[in-house]
């Protein structure tokens, strides 16, 4: 017997559809992916930010370096102009010297700022302001130098004029000195005394003190020399030194240091030995007789004694005296 499947008249309960169970690992993976993507996004954003900051810093640094180089060039130009001015102005006064010190101090401050590796904007701005001030100082320095040059030129002209006047005066003075010297020489020579009436005698002095003239050499104890000084209206009144030079019969000068002999200088013969120096008190324009004795500590010799008198370096008179033997046996 065949069976067929026909719907049942009695309804059957239906089975609900099964929902697939959700896996937690799936959500975890999704969350990790989201976090990872966020991290990468932050990293990319941060890197871009850092790159932008670095680029800004590079731009700022390049700008600062460029500004510093510009300021250095400006300082170098100012320094070159200043050095050129100093070279052209070898001669300075106190004002210029003071300005030199001020400029040097300002230059040193600017160089200190520009030598800093990390100079700030404020410091570079200060350096820029100081360079402007330095240029103003240099211009003022230049003006003062030009003024000094003008003054120096004027002084040079005046100095040349004064020098010419001085040379004229000096020439006139030298000429006047020459004339005065010539007149002084004339007066000097003219004031030399002159001797006349020369007389030389041998004196035999007895124990009693009585004196007797003698021509016998053996009996002569001393020489008495006398002469007359002629009147002279040029020679001034006052003490005069006369140098008496005696030469013995042997032709040698007579000099006894203990009796005042010595050396003096003549106008024509240079140094000469004198026997005795006689000082007289002369009166201008008057004749005057001079007399003095010479007594030596050795016997007088037979022969001629020459007596010369010098004054003012000139020989002004001379005389000769001969002493003979004392009878048949001398």
Same domain flag for 138 and 205: no
Same domain flag for 135 and 233: no
- Is there a domain that residue 232 lies in? yes
- Is there a domain that residue 109 lies in? yes
Q: Which 8-state DSSP code applies to residue 216?
A: B
- Is there a domain that residue 319 lies in? yes
**Which domain does 116 fall in, by range?**
27-148
Q: Is pLDDT above 80 for 15?
A: no
Q: Could you tell me the CATH number of the domain that includes residue 227?
A: 2.60.40.10
Same domain flag for 116 and 52: yes
How large is the average pLDDT for residues 20-46? Answer: 77
Give pLDDT, residue 192: 92
Residues 6+ apart with CB under 8 A from 57: none
How large is the average pLDDT for residues 255-280? Answer: 94
Query: Which of 78 and 236 is assigned the larger pLDDT?
Result: 236
- Is there a domain that residue 75 lies in? yes
- Read off the pTM: 0.50
- Is there a domain that residue 156 lies in? no
Q: Encode pLDDT of 111-159 as tens digits.
A: 888 787 777 878 888 878 888 887 887 777 777 777 777 777 788 888 8
Same domain flag for 138 and 206: no
- Is there a domain that residue 182 lies in? no
Q: Is pLDDT above 80 for 239?
A: yes
Same domain flag for 104 and 223: no
The total number of structural domains that make up the chain: 2
- Is there a domain that residue 115 lies in? yes
Q: Please tell me the total number of residues recorded for the chain in this structure.
A: 330
- Is there a domain that residue 90 lies in? yes
Buried b or exposed e, range 297-312, using 16+ CB within 10 angstroms: eeebeeeebbbbbbbb
Residue 3: pLDDT band by 50, 70, 90 thresholds?
A: very low
Q: Residue 52 in 3-state DSSP?
A: helix
Q: Is pLDDT above 90 for 245?
A: yes
Same domain flag for 200 and 318: yes
Highest mean pLDDT among 12-16, 33-37, 120-124, 276-280: 276-280
DSSP per-residue codes, 144-197: HHHHHHHHHHHHHHHHHHHHHHHHHHHHHHHHHHHHHHHHHHHHHHHT---EEE
Consecutive H or E run containing 69: helix 24-88
Same domain flag for 35 and 127: yes
């Amino acid at each position: 017997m065949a069976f067929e499947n026909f719907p049942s008249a009695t309804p059957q309960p239906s089975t609900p559809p099964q929902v697939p169970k959700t896996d937690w690992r799936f959500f975890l993976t999704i969350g990790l992916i989201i976090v990872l993507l966020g991290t990468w996004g932050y990293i990319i954003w941060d890197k871009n930010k850092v790159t932008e900051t670095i680029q800004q810093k590079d731009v700022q640094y390049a700008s600062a370096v460029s500004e510093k180089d510009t300021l250095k060039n400006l300082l170098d130009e100012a320094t070159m102009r200043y050095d050129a001015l100093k070279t052209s102005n070898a001669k300075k006064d106190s004002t210029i010297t003071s300005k030199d010190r001020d400029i040097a101090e300002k230059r040193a401050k600017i160089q200190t700022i520009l030598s800093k590796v990390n100079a700030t904007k404020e410091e570079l701005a200060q350096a820029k302001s100081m360079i402007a001030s330095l240029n103003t100082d240099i211009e003022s320095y230049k003006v003062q130098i030009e003024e000094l040059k003008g003054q120096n030129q004027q002084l040079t002209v005046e100095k040349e004029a004064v020098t010419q006047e001085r040379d004229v005066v000096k020439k006139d003075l030298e000429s006047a000195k020459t004339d005065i010297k010539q007149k002084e020489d004339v007066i000097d020579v003219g004031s030399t005394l002159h001797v006349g009436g020369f007389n030389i005698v041998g004196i035999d002095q007895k124990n009693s003190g009585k004196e007797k003239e003698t021509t016998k050499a053996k009996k002569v104890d001393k020489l008495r020399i006398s002469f007359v000084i002629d009147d002279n209206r040029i020679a001034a009144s006052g003490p005069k030194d006369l140098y008496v030079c005696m030469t013995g019969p042997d032709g040698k000068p007579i000099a006894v240091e203990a009796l005042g002999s010595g050396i003096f200088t003549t106008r024509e013969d240079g140094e000469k030995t004198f026997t005795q120096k006689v000082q007289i008190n002369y009166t201008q324009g008057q004749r005057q007789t001079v007399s003095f004795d010479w007594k030596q500590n050795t016997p007088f010799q037979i022969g001629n004694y020459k007596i010369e008198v010098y004054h003012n370096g000139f020989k002004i008179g001379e005389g000769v005296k001969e002493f003979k033997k004392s009878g048949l046996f001398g």
